[in-house]
Amino acid sequence: MSKPMFLLGFQVAELKLIFRFKATASDLRLGVNKEMYSTVFAFVYWFSRLSPQSPTLKLHEVTKEYWDGGCCQACRIVPLRSIIYLCTLAPALPGPPDGSINQHNAFSQHERFFISPYGSQTEFQLWKIS
């Protein structure tokens, strides 16, 4: 099975921060881009494009993207409205879990993740595991 059609061209990201710029009185007097101050933004870390679905697990995989030869995880500020869907990521473990992974350290300790269809009924329907 291939990617859900509506996801073509989109990319997985880890949402780190939601914010809005605050206009100063001088900004408003000078007529600085008012749209920038009314837009809500998100700071995200990027993952790779979706892999084809694994033939055995029937899951898509993503990996963290890096800049500068692996020194800095790729990031960007995007309008919040460009985030279309939240998805559950599960670490792609190289072997049996050893009990050290938890919700607080999963993103810092692992590079590869599966998009899990088991986070909710909606996700299961979206990714249609068969």
Across all residues in the chain, what is the average pLDDT? 81
Joined tokens for residue 34: 């008012």
Average pLDDT over residues 48-77: 86
Q: Is 30 helix (H, G, I), strand (E, B) or coil?
A: helix
Confidence of residue 122 (pLDDT cuts 50, 70, 90): confident
Average pLDDT over residues 119-123: 73
Joined tokens for residue 42: 């998100």
**CA dihedral of 63, 7, 90, 70, whole degrees rounded to 10:** 20
Nearest to 7 by CA among 62, 57, 56: 62
Task: Decide which of 11 and 25 is more confident.
Answer: 11
Provide the whole-model pTM. 0.76
